[in-house]
């Protein structure tokens, strides 16, 4: 019989959608192109986006997964590979960057980015998907 306790679930302090997250030599992050809605062409494709997630109030080893949920059809349309992290102290803030593209949306409307730690949902962020009226100006924000 095991007496090992499960790691406490982390608290998600931030979920941000970005065009790109860049880490420099001083371990500082630049969040480029933060946005809250995808503007896509009629093909409903998004070519580049990353999720910046900051978690805290945790200690131990975690497998973090990010999913994209279509709220209209109640489907999971994307799922990241697991990112394994070790958090040494509950006061430590762990930054996690996950690529979620390429994305193929099924329809315009509301979607969620859902963050899981060790298989348990810890937070979600809602975003919209809209089709551009002028497809020469399509981008991810």
Residue 105 lies inside a defined structural domain of this protein: yes
pLDDT tens per residue, the chain (141 residues)?
445 567 789 999 999 999 999 988 888 999 999 999 999 999 999 988 999 999 999 999 999 999 999 999 999 999 999 999 999 999 999 999 999 989 999 999 999 999 999 999 999 999 999 999 875 555 545
The reply to whether 94 falls in a domain is yes
| Domain extent at residue 42 | 11-132
Q: Supply the pTM of this predicted model.
A: 0.88
As to burial, measured by CB atoms within 10 angstroms (0-12 exposed, 13-18 middle, 19+ buried), residue 40 is buried
The total number of structural domains in the chain stands at 1
């Amino acid at each position: 019989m095991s007496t090992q306790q499960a790691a406490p679930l982390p608290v998600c302090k931030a979920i941000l959608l970005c065009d790109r997250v860049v880490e420099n030599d001083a371990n500082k992050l630049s969040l480029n192109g933060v946005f809250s809605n995808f503007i896509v062409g009629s093909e409903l494709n998004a070519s580049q986006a990353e999720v910046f997630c900051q978690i805290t109030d945790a200690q131990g080893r975690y497998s973090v997964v990010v999913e994209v949920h279509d709220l209209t059809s109640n489907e999971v349309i994307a799922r990241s590979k697991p990112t394994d992290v070790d958090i040494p102290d509950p006061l430590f803030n762990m930054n996690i960057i996950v690529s979620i593209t390429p994305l193929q949306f099924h329809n315009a409307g509301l979607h969620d980015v859902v963050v899981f730690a060790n298989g348990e949902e810890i937070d979600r962020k809602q975003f919209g998907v809209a089709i551009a009226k002028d497809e020469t100006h399509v981008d991810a924000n």
